Structure 1
């Protein structure tokens, strides 16, 4: 995949899939703009890219705050002139059954996973539309198409991200901008590790048993790793994948078949 001369904004770039995608896409020639609410983590990602000869900037950005996002995007355009690709990777969850899920936690999950994705998309589109080109990749989840115990708000948010992306593809096609949702399965990131710790407490089982349970449900017999998702992100960011539009691309190792 040739990503030379592409400026790529990645949210949640300070860890997990976002960080792995930053590294992989930089290796293919993309200039990386790492956004993360944890500015220090975003800067580590950017520095690693630069250390390997790539170009990268980092911004501490709360994607649920439009002013934060607008300021970051303005700086990106001032520095590089344009944005070619947006990968919305930022996301998180707080596990609880519906009868115990607090309003605060519900709002946090919806605001980060759904509204944050919307805000970044809408701000970046203001830059893409006049140039009549662009690619948006929104990280959803298998939870957007399959229910998961004690994860109702996250499932709802990711299902909404999938549908929002489809509508975006429908609306933005006239501007030569394509959009896809990417739905990973269980990927061994900090988010999964934290979720499994909470789930182990809820169910009263050992974390190792949860890993085994998940792996047993995957035809390939294991959870995925961030680098595998990053490789797909790099492909989807390339010009040869531009015609893949309005799709929800599942990458679960076959987990959704179990």
Structure 2
């Protein structure tokens, strides 16, 4: 009986926990519709005990453009994995780049379209800027605070104002980080935005034209962390800015 309990204990220790939080992975539609995730994610979980699930708000992002680590290719598109400083996320990246992971990717045959390849060749890796903050919380704050005007993601793609750029378009700008860091001083934000301990109170004679946006510096850092993993829009050509 003692030997049986010991074996059972070892089995439970080595098995993935039912209540374990899964890593969220955001992917472009081209990957979702291919069926690749249903092929590779269970195999990664079986090997490591770490669960990964598709999540549009996930802190990991498989994007069709840099920055990130190039992990696979399909036709002319190279896919880059963006992760945060997290041991489980790093393990997922390392598994994708391992011999087993690469064979798992190339072993998948989609029902339609070309297969995925790991023959990436020389690709310039552009590191994403390191931003402190809770990206998951930043996704929620972005939707609640910024989503009334900007398209933040697929969830509100029909609700943004036509005159305001989406987060994905803003990410194409070379100075996107600086713009987001000081957005509250860039028009039209000063008229309705308050950052605790940073901005001055509204002039009583010039009240905000809409319901004010109020946040703390911690909130802003979380939003920056989220925006840092948002995929830049494919505009076909560099965006011209003034």
Instruction: Report the TM-score, using the length of structure 2 for normalisation.
Output: 0.25
Greater relative contact order (Cα < 8 A, sep 6+): 1
Q: Greater CA radius of gyration, 1 or 2?
A: 2
